[in-house]
Chain A
Amino acid sequence: MQSFVTHTGIVASLDRANVDTDQIIPKQFLKRIERTGFGQFLFFDWRFLPDGAPNPDFELNRPIVAGASVLLARRNFGCGSSREHAPWALADYGFKVVIAPTFADIFFNNCFQNGMVPIRLPEADVEELFRRTRAAEAAGGPYRLHVDLPSCNVSDDAGFSRSFTVDPFRKRCLLEGLDDIGLSLQHVDKIAAWEAAHAALAGE
């Protein structure tokens, strides 16, 4: 897995709650059998007009957020379907970090598997980040955030600084870019022992 240590990037804000994975990557793009190439379909139905042209009203299509790598969102981001195509699409598009007050569980877990950090911040802090993003954009420039995973801190260069929590194991996997299947297979003797102990119980 790709590792994540620190990252500084342009913030794109998506001011809607309950963004579900059907919106992040609509079902017509789930038929591919590869893990790659989903970025072009990210937010497809919002991002493109029926004739295929980019929708100028959609947040991510604004020139000021071109090259954004930090997504700022509202509550319950990534709800709905378990499709990992959603984090695949976000990562492939270039996002490294998603910040929201709350995330849906499966999406949250899926992010870690793809070198992407989902950051939960209190609603008031997220509101403040929306405010700072709008202010920076009104002043003509994109807003940037810096994420430091070892210290679990997210900051800008104008005084915003908050710590966030990440499960220590997930953090280590991200920092070291660990193959977690390989890691689990180190405990294969314990798995085998569990199986042996339960074979009798299974009634077969």
Chain B
Amino acid sequence: MSSTPRTLLDKIWDAHVVCTPPGELPLLYVDRHLVHEVTSPQAFEGLRLAGRRVRRPDATFATPDHNIPTTDRRLPIADPISKQQIDTLRNNCLEFGVRLFDLGDADQGIVHVIGPELGITQPGMTIVCGDSHTATHGALGALAFGIGTSEVEHVLATQTLRQAKPKSLELRVEGSLHPGVTAKDLVLYLIGKLSTEGGTGHVIEYTGPCIRRLGMEERMTVCNMSIEAGARAGMIAPDQITFDYLRGRDYAPRNFDRAVAEWERLPGDPGAVFDRVEIFQGGDVVPQVTWGTNPAQVVGIDATVPDPTAFGDPNERESGSRALDYMGLKGGTKIVDIPLDRVFIGSCTNSRIEDLRAAASVVRGYRVAPTVHAMVVPGSGRVKRQAEQEGLDRVFRDAGFEWREAGCSMCLGMNPDTLTPGQRCASTSNRNFEGRQGKGGRTHLVSPAMAAAAAVTGHFTDIRHWLYR
């Protein structure tokens, strides 16, 4: 062990480099490999063609989430191509001995929701998945990032990945968040400051008192969106909040106290140096709403839609104008004056129990505006059952929300849950790209509480002034 002070990233990296053969990139050991139906079929097929096996089926976990219907699970899947992809995952898991949380399994859900929830995700681990929001798992102090399908195949076959060590970026958030301001608002604010490529080539470690105060699920929301700032991964050093969250979960270490003793050594050493440091104030953050077609195109709820022609950077000017055109908005419009057609509460960013509680507390005693079609899609079967035990489903249904089965749903609209052209949606998901939720659909990213308030009033509403019933 070297005596140079090391960051959390350094420690996890050093512990996982299997070897760096001369003239080659390091081989990084992968502790947990999460697999879903969309980015894995070609990888399993590659294994089959080469006569290879899955090296660590015991460290590989699969679930269908992207493509699945969120309506009644007892009905057959209507789309034959979706069905084929889900069947293919099932057959591949059977053939290669991989644990599958299948449709109908009580623990099925969005891969980034069930990993932490089942305790599969643990501090100090390297975790990969053929999905860019794998950074979510970094909230527990893991190094977790998204990979392409060829790399999925590489990990299946070798349990390692060829990786150059990324640079480190400390995002320090001082102070604390004001009431009504959530982890989602914080991360949208940070992306707005960093830009969509500000984190490229870096792993972000979120530090500072504002981050330490966040609960486990709020930390997941923050780390989840690291990719939207271009970062390879996002992570938060584990602490008592992390350990308390993990204790007793299905896949948590059996000798938990010994594991905690190991995990306590993970946080960066005093004096450890990051390649880059940026400092922000939690108190500066207000509830955020995106106005454009990338997550960095974001403003506070009390602001107006910006006028891109006034932007200094020509790229930003061009993409801002194109975005307003697509979004059907004009510079100068007050954010609170933007009316909505749809509200989507769900996705790996904001579909956990605390998200649903926050949204339900806003909705309680109100009705969804007659002009709005609103739905809640829990992140996992467990979240759904927990919410139902707490009566949250009733709160949502009574208000006029649809209450669905777990999956990615309208976060990317690969299943039947999509926007129609021109529809405007307040969404708790992570991407407002053109067509993301359906061709021609217009997505505004917000927190669960802000989405809930917008569903009730029919337009964006400052949650800080909400009258809770």
CA distance A190 to B316 in the complex (A): 47
Q: Say yes or no: A106-B157 contact (C-beta < 8 A), given A22-B431, A203-B258.
A: no
Please provide the chain B residues from 65 to 94 with a CB less than 8 Å away from any CB of chain A in the complex.
66-67, 79, 81-82, 84-85, 88
30 A-B contact pairs sorted by A residue (CB < 8 Å):
A17-B318, A18-B196, A22-B431, A22-B436, A30-B38, A32-B81, A34-B42, A34-B45, A45-B439, A79-B294, A82-B39, A82-B131, A82-B147, A83-B38, A84-B130, A104-B197, A105-B166, A105-B201, A105-B230, A106-B132, A110-B151, A167-B164, A169-B25, A181-B153, A187-B27, A190-B27, A191-B27, A191-B159, A195-B159, A203-B253
CB closest chain-B residue, reference A107: B148
B26 to chain A, nearest CB (A): 10
B139 within 8 A of A: no
Chain B residues closer than 8 Å to A191, beta-carbon distance: 18, 27, 29, 55, 158-160
CA distance A76 to B319 in the complex (A): 12
The one of A50, A83, A109, A170 in contact with B39, judged by C-beta atoms closer than 8 angstroms, is A83
Chain B residues closer than 8 Å to A16, beta-carbon distance: 318-319, 322
1/0 per position for A79-93, CB-CB distance to B under 8 A? 111111001000000
Please provide the chain A residues from 1 to 55 with a CB less than 8 Å away from any CB of chain B in the complex.
15-18, 20, 22-23, 26-28, 30-35, 45, 50
CA distance A16 to B166 in the complex (A): 27
Chain B residues closer than 8 Å to A87, beta-carbon distance: 148
A133 within 8 A of B: no
B190 to chain A, nearest CB (A): 16
B121 to chain A, nearest CB (A): 14
B441 to chain A, nearest CB (A): 11
Query: Is the pair A18, B21 in contact by a Cβ cutoff of 8 Å?
Result: no
B193 within 8 A of A: no
Query: Is the pair B132, A80 in contact by a Cβ cutoff of 8 Å?
Result: yes
The one of B38, B39, B147, B158 in contact with A181, judged by C-beta atoms closer than 8 angstroms, is B158
Please provide the chain A residues from 108 to 127 with a CB less than 8 Å away from any CB of chain B in the complex.
109-110, 113-114
CA distance A109 to B152 in the complex (A): 12
B residues sitting closer than 8 Å to A (CB atoms) are 18-19, 21, 23-25, 27, 29, 38-39, 41-42, 45-46, 50, 52, 55, 66-67, 79, 81-82, 84-85, 88, 130-132, 146-151, 153-154, 157-160, 162, 164, 166, 196-197, 200-201, 227, 230, 232, 253-255, 258-259, 262, 294, 315-316, 318-319, 322, 412-414, 421, 431, 433-436, 439
Query: Is the pair B85, A33 in contact by a Cβ cutoff of 8 Å?
Result: yes
Query: Is the pair B254, A203 in contact by a Cβ cutoff of 8 Å?
Result: yes
Add 10 more A-B contacts to A80-B431, A180-B154 (CB < 8 A).
Answer: A17-B315, A20-B431, A22-B435, A23-B433, A33-B84, A34-B45, A74-B315, A83-B148, A113-B148, A187-B19
CB closest chain-A residue, reference B412: A27
A127 to chain B, nearest CB (A): 10
Query: Is the pair B318, A181 in contact by a Cβ cutoff of 8 Å?
Result: no
CA distance A175 to B248 in the complex (A): 51
Query: Is the pair A76, B39 in contact by a Cβ cutoff of 8 Å?
Result: no
Query: Is the pair B148, A106 in contact by a Cβ cutoff of 8 Å?
Result: yes
1/0 per position for A169-204, CB-CB distance to B under 8 A? 110100000011101110110110011001001111
Query: Is the pair B23, A168 in contact by a Cβ cutoff of 8 Å?
Result: yes
CA distance A175 to B452 in the complex (A): 54
CA distance A80 to B322 in the complex (A): 18
Chain B residues closer than 8 Å to A96, beta-carbon distance: none
The one of A18, A34, A84 in contact with B319, judged by C-beta atoms closer than 8 angstroms, is A18
Chain A residues closer than 8 Å to B81, beta-carbon distance: 31-32
Chain B residues closer than 8 Å to A170, beta-carbon distance: 25
A102 within 8 A of B: yes
CA distance A201 to B16 in the complex (A): 13
Chain A residues closer than 8 Å to B67, beta-carbon distance: 31
B140 to chain A, nearest CB (A): 16
Chain A residues closer than 8 Å to B149, beta-carbon distance: 35, 84
Query: Is the pair B151, A105 in contact by a Cβ cutoff of 8 Å?
Result: no
CB closest chain-B residue, reference A123: B315
Query: Is the pair A31, B322 in contact by a Cβ cutoff of 8 Å?
Result: no
Query: Is the pair B147, A190 in contact by a Cβ cutoff of 8 Å?
Result: no
The one of B18, B39, B84, B151 in contact with A187, judged by C-beta atoms closer than 8 angstroms, is B18
The one of A33, A84, A185 in contact with B88, judged by C-beta atoms closer than 8 angstroms, is A33
Query: Is the pair A75, B39 in contact by a Cβ cutoff of 8 Å?
Result: no
CA distance A174 to B162 in the complex (A): 15
Query: Is the pair B158, A184 in contact by a Cβ cutoff of 8 Å?
Result: yes
CB closest chain-A residue, reference B17: A194
CA distance A102 to B46 in the complex (A): 30
B255 to chain A, nearest CB (A): 5
Query: Is the pair B148, A105 in contact by a Cβ cutoff of 8 Å?
Result: no
Query: Is the pair B150, A113 in contact by a Cβ cutoff of 8 Å?
Result: yes
What 6 A-B pairs have minimum CB-CB distances, sorted nearest first?
A113-B150, A33-B41, A84-B148, A110-B148, A82-B146, A17-B315
CA distance A191 to B436 in the complex (A): 39
Q: Say yes or no: A76-B200 contact (C-beta < 8 A), given A31-B85, A187-B21, A194-B18.
A: yes
The one of A34, A169, A198 in contact with B24, judged by C-beta atoms closer than 8 angstroms, is A169
A23 to chain B, nearest CB (A): 6
CB closest chain-B residue, reference A201: B262
CB closest chain-B residue, reference A86: B148
Query: Is the pair B27, A104 in contact by a Cβ cutoff of 8 Å?
Result: no
Chain B residues closer than 8 Å to A84, beta-carbon distance: 39, 42, 130, 148-150
B376 to chain A, nearest CB (A): 21
Query: Is the pair B146, A181 in contact by a Cβ cutoff of 8 Å?
Result: no
* Chain B CB within 10 A, most for which of A27, A170, A194, A204: A27
Chain A residues closer than 8 Å to B25, beta-carbon distance: 167, 169-170
Chain A residues closer than 8 Å to B148, beta-carbon distance: 82-84, 87, 106, 109-110, 113
A163 to chain B, nearest CB (A): 20
Query: Is the pair B150, A194 in contact by a Cβ cutoff of 8 Å?
Result: no
A46 to chain B, nearest CB (A): 8
CA distance A203 to B122 in the complex (A): 12
Chain B residues closer than 8 Å to A168, beta-carbon distance: 23
Q: Say yes or no: A110-B150 contact (C-beta < 8 A), given A27-B412, A84-B39, A102-B200.
A: yes
Query: Is the pair B160, A184 in contact by a Cβ cutoff of 8 Å?
Result: yes
